[in-house]
Amino acid sequence: MELTQYQTETELIAGLKAKNETALVQVYDRYYASLSGIIFKYVNDVELTEELIQETFVKIWLHIDSYDHSKGRLFTWMVNIARNLSIDKLRSADYKTSQKTEVLDNSVHNNNLNHSEQLRIDHIDMAEIVQRLRPEQKNLIDLIYFKGYTQAEVADKLKIPLGTVKTRVRAAIVELRKYFKVVNPK
Amino acid sequence: MSIHTFINSGILELYVAGVLTDAELAQVDDMIQKHPELQVEIQAIIDATILYTELHTVAINKDKTLENIKNAIQNLPAPEENNPKIKNGMFSKNNNAVKEDNLFTNKEGKNAEVKKLPNDGRPQNTPINRVLTDAQPGRPIAISQTKSYGWLAASIIFLLLSLGLNGFLYIEWDKQKATIVSLEQSIEKKGLEYQALNTKYSNTQGVMDIFTNKEFKQLQISGNDTMNSEMLATVYWNRKTQDVRIMPQSIAKLPTGKVYQLWAINNEGKPVDAGVLDMKDDIGTMQQMKLVADAKAFAVTIEPDGGSESPTMPIVMQASL
């Protein structure tokens, strides 16, 4: 196991900027599962997810100097890198020829969380909580957190008023956090 | 905006998702500068998001992938220039994040876009097409000239449009300004009317209180000879609190320099000043007078402006209790 030597996000970013490999490993340990979840939502393929995770962290390593703290947190920045790489992959020629055209069928409209093979065992209880989210809430946060839809795009897609988007996302996240406090009483 | 309202608006959730517009992003950054404690809330949202995304994850080979990453970064060539795409596009939503719909409907990719262009083989005689057809190798001068004329024309057109729009907006603004001024005036007017009504209302309430208060003795005083027979007023007197009110009901206008003065005739038969009547008020308005300790009758005389210490003129109205 690696030593967790960076206590704060600021320290972690400084470590990455200093090209310290320990910092990268720490970032990887903390975020690889989350980013894999996002990438897998796009490509629906384990090998491809591994490949894109690799590309994502190499990109983080290479471009950490362009990370601007005033524009968002490290997590947000990394999520966008993972998203953009996934999108680029889906558009690339080699992907299109690899007969994986059905990939997005398994997209945000699929409310069925019973893909137990996708769920990590330590999150089973969490899955129950998510099941309890109203379908429109789940759709909403899937579009925003996985697909990177803007407020306007979500409003358009789900045919709900623009002003409702933010408040519904808030309500859903608050619901998730209730549970999070119980399982992570840090 | 209060920090509470700000948090509850849900903007921070979208901030964490990285889908805010540049303007919203600036707003959030501004709030974070002012309220660093917002980072706690943001971290909680990040934690929940991580948990939620992990829930949908897939079991990749964690260690092997990490080894691959380590190998990759060790074998990297010299650091490349910052990619502007990375620099600019990572926080706010922009063009390089393609919508799912596009991925579905535009499977031919670039070819499909090309098909949308007018392509009948003959360039049309529009400025843009001229530029395009002129833009061929071997004709560099023509390109730059046509291009600059095109841009010049476009700039002028744009300038004219912009001037026209400015004019239009100015006129609109002027109209709106006039509307606002007249609205303000009417609001002010309504305010004054309201105030006046309110005063009237509380006066009426006061009058009602006196009418219904049994401690107030009610005494009609009237003209005592043929000249003043039309004159009528009502005096209210509370012996306990010594409070005296008068309500003129029918009373002649006086020339300037003259006033009506109320007298309480005490038990010794002496008139005691109870104040002068304010004739600015309408007939039928109750007026508060001076306190009167004891009285067996009330009387009114006409006195010089400001009133007198004792009556100097004959009584025009009177009545005994």
**3-state class (DSSP) for residue A60:** helix
Amino acid at B68: N
Contacts of A33 in chain B (CB under 8 A): 50, 53-54, 57
Q: What is the pLDDT of residue A177?
A: 82
Residue A126, pLDDT score: 62
Yes or no, beta carbons of B86 and A38 under 8 Å apart? no
Which segment of A99-113, A153-167, B302-316 scores lowest on mean pLDDT? A99-113
* A155-185 burial: b if 16+ Cβ within 10 Å, else e: bebbeeeeebbbebbbbbbebbbebbeeeee
Among the residue ranges A35-44, B38-47, B48-57, B224-233, the one predicted with the least confidence is: B224-233
pLDDT at A102 > cutoff 50 = no
Chain B residues with CB inside 8 Å of A123's CB? Answer: 51, 54-55
Q: With an 8 Å Cβ cutoff, are B93 and A148 in contact? A: yes
pLDDT at B124: 42
Of A63, A83, A87, the CB nearest to B86: A63
* The domain made up of A1-123 is a member of CATH 1.10.1740.10: yes
Contact A20, B42 (CB under 8 A): no
Q: Do B10 and A166 touch (CB under 8 A)?
A: yes
Confidence of residue A2 (pLDDT cuts 50, 70, 90): very low
Q: Looking at residue B42, what is its pLDDT?
A: 93
Tokens linked to B10: 């849900």
Residue among A34, A63, A177 minimizing CB distance to B44: A177
Confidence class for position B102, pLDDT limits 50, 70, 90: very low
- Cα B90 from Cα B174, distance rounded (Å): 43
d(CA A29, CA B70): 13
Residue A150 Cα, gap to closest chain B Cα (Å): 5
Residue identified by tokens 């959030």 is B28
pLDDT per position as a tens digit, A108-127: 444 343 333 344 445 556 66
Q: Of B218, B293, B284, B275, which Cα lies nearest the Cα of B251?
A: B284
Which of B44, B56, B61 is closest, CB to CB, to A40? B56
For an interface test with B, give the residue of A166, A183, A184 to mutate (most B CBs within 10 A): A166
pLDDT of residue B232: 87
pLDDT at A111: 39
A146: nearest CA partner in chain B:
B53
Q: In Å, how far is A76's CA from the nearest CA of chain B?
A: 6
Higher pLDDT, A5 or B165: B165
Quick check: A123 and B73 CB within 8 A?
no
A170 closest CB neighbour out of B8, B52, B96 = B8
Kindly provide the ipTM of the predicted complex, given to two decimals.
0.80
Q: Is the CB of B55 inside 8 Å of chain A's CB atoms?
A: yes
Q: Give the pLDDT band (50/70/90) at residue A91.
A: confident
Closest CA–CA distance from residue A157 to any residue of chain B (Å): 10
- Residue B114 pLDDT greater than 60, yes or no: no
Which pLDDT value is given to residue B263?
A: 94
Contact A38, A83 (CB under 8 A): yes
For chain A, the average pLDDT equals 79
Amino acid in the structure at residue B9 = S
Indicate the pLDDT class of residue B206, thresholds 50, 70 and 90: confident
Which residues of chain A lie closer than 8 angstroms to B96, CB-CB?
84, 87
Q: Is the pLDDT of residue A86 over 50?
A: yes
Through-space distance between the first and last CA atoms of chain A, rounded to whole angstroms:
21
Over residues A93-98, mean pLDDT: 65
Cα B234 off chain centre by: 48
Window A:71-110, CB contacts with B under 8 Å: 71-73, 75-77, 79-81, 83-84, 87, 90-91, 96, 101, 104, 107-108
User: Distance (Å) from the C-alpha of residue B65 to the closest C-alpha of chain A?
Assistant: 6
Query: B114 vs B221, which has greater pLDDT?
Result: B221
As a whole number, mean pLDDT of residues A161-181 equals 83
Query: Which of A24, A29, A70, A122 is most worth mutating to test chain B (most B CB atoms within 10 A of its CB)?
Result: A70
Distance from CA of A93 to the nearest CA of B (A): 10
Q: For testing the chain B interface, which of A67, A80, A125 should be mutated: the one with the most B CBs within 10 Å?
A: A80
**Residues 73-132, chain B, touching A (beta carbon < 8 A):** 73, 76, 79-80, 82-83, 85-87, 89-93, 96-100, 103-104, 107, 109
Identity of the residue numbered B217:
K
Show residues of chain A in contact with B20, CB under 8 Å. 150
Q: For the domain A124-186, what is the CATH code?
A: 1.10.10.10
Instruction: Report pLDDT for B244.
Output: 93
What is the per-residue burial (b if ≥16 Cβ within 10 Å, else e) of A98-114?
Answer: eeeeebbeebbeeeebe
- pLDDT of res. A105: 43
Residues of chain A with CATH 1.10.1740.10: 1-123
- Range A147-151 average pLDDT: 87
Structure confidence at residue B130 as a pLDDT band (50, 70, 90): very low
> Looking at chain A, which residues constitute the CATH 1.10.10.10 domain(s)?
124-186
**Cβ contact B48–A173 (<8 Å):** yes
Identify the residue with better confidence: B123 or B143. Answer: B143
CA dihedral A88, A91, A96, A102 (to 10 degrees): 90
Residue B172: pLDDT above 50? yes
| Closest among A73, A27, A134 to B32, alpha carbons compared | A73
With a cut of 50, say whether residue B191 has pLDDT above it.
Answer: yes
Task: Identify which of B242, B243, B281 has the alpha carbon closest to the alpha carbon of residue B259.
Answer: B281
Query: Which chain B residue lies closest to A82 (C-alpha atoms)?
Result: B90
Please give the residue of chain A at the shortest CA–CA distance from B55. Answer: A119
Q: Residue range B276-284: average pLDDT?
A: 75
Tell me what the mean pLDDT of segment B80-101 comes to: 47
pLDDT cut 70: percent of chain B above it: 76
How much of chain A exceeds pLDDT 70, in percent? Answer: 73
Residue scoring higher pLDDT (B148 or B258) = B258
Q: Do A126 and B51 touch (CB under 8 A)?
A: yes
What per-residue confidence (pLDDT) applies to B56? 77
